[in-house]
Amino acid sequence: MEMVILSALQWRVQPPTAMAFVRHFLALADVEERTKNLIVGASRVQIENAVKDYDFISINSSMIAAASILNTARFMDRTSLPDGSRCSLSLVLEQHGSNRLIYGNKMREIRDKLLNTVRNKEVANDQQ
């Protein structure tokens, strides 16, 4: 019986990752496919660095995902992420984020930590 259930689930029994949340949030937003791919790529860099940092161990995956999306959107120009898409993305994160306080102090801290992990990685690469 267990094998039937696991087969039906295609063995997807792990908890959702931050990247799974990124894809979920983007699927809900009214954003062009090309833009979604850009956001996924930039979010992946931040999330991969966060996975290696102990400071992120107690932070929900959905919060890390939302923070990485917000960081990415912040650096995108209006051509890459038009205002309508930016609003749609913000609404999705407000409605479906893990604590729905995407503009609070906690989110600011997470966003800053994520950006610092990317900066630290770049500095380490430059020193090699």
- Give per-residue pLDDT as tens, 58-100: 999 999 999 999 999 999 999 999 999 999 998 898 887 655 5
Phi, psi at 58, each rounded to 5°: -95, 5
Residue 55 in tokens: 């400071």
Number of DSSP helices (H) and strands (E) in the chain, helices first: 6, 0
Distance CA 42, CA 53 (A): 17
The count of residues in the chain is 128
Tell me: the pLDDT tens digits for 2-19? 777 778 877 777 778 999
